[in-house]
Amino acid sequence: MISLLFKEINSFLNSLIGYIVLIVFLSVISLFLWVFPGAFNVFESGFASIDSLFIITPWVYMFLIPAITMRLFAEERKAGTLELLLTKPLTEMQVVLAKYFAGVLLVIISLLPTLLYYLCIRELSFPVGNVDSGAVWGSYLGLILLGAAFTSIGLFASSLTDNQVVAFVIALFFCLLAYTGIETISAYAGWGKTGLVINRLGISSHYESIGRGVVDTRDVIYFLSFITFFILLTRLKLESRKW
């Protein structure tokens, strides 16, 4: 299982598409935070804060993570190596988890360079270090959980087809639905009890809650349940080949 995990990571990092995806992600974030004028620009905000990073990144993740995960199973199906992989001394769940954790690690790798933004903000603040670090680390935890949730969606989408583009589109659709679609539906339901219940089913409310710097176990349980649900769906899809 560990060898398969590292194989997936090496396969991504040794491919041109892998570096293109990471460069595009970091370029988009950097341009909005430091170059483009507007509400997200750090210099124009007047505050020592990188809140813009945690507002923009979920939207970029909706494209970045499907690009990372689209090949995990689709490529195996197209090359005809999926059956060979499943004949090795690994269960379907071990294969799914190896590919899933490889995807999560790649998401974390893409996020690591953004820590430089936090260090820059600490130096730019007055006095130096006058930054709400608790909220920052809470927001980073939220991004990791959000990325892990989107990865589980992308993994499931990749298991549905042998076409990477189709897998990308399916994952993008479900990520949009989970992050902003459910929230939109709840707005139509009004601000009553029904609307609040529907809103809590979406990812965005739980992500924003963690981003305030207070980690609520209910939000963590929600993300873990969400991830488990799509991992089990992926395993079920793999097992369906035997039926």
User: pLDDT 10s digit of each residue in the chain, 243 long?
Assistant: 777 777 777 777 777 777 888 888 888 888 888 888 777 777 776 666 778 888 899 999 999 899 888 888 888 777 777 767 767 777 888 888 988 998 899 889 888 888 888 888 777 766 766 677 777 888 889 999 999 999 999 999 998 988 989 999 999 999 998 888 777 776 665 556 666 666 677 888 888 888 777 778 888 999 999 999 999 999 998 877 655
C-beta separation of 113 from 22 below 8 A: no
Give the type of residue at 210: I
Rounded CA separation 120/188 (Å):
41
Query: Using CA atoms in the order 87, 93, 94, 96, what is the torsion angle rounded to 10 degrees?
Result: 90
Check whether the bond before 127 is cis (ω within 30° of 0).
yes
Dist CA 242 CA 24 (whole Å): 40
- What is the structure's pLDDT at 157? 93
The pLDDT assigned to 136 comes to: 82
What's the CA gap between 160 and 69, in Å, rounded?
12
Domain edges within the chain? 2-242
Q: How far is CA 64 from CA 5, 22, 140, 221, in A?
A: 19, 8, 17, 25
Per-residue confidence (pLDDT) for residue 129, from 0 to 100: 64
CA dist 33 and 55 (Å) reads: 11
Residues 6+ apart with CB under 8 A from 225: none
Which of 241, 204, 228 lies closest to 100, judged by CA?
Answer: 228
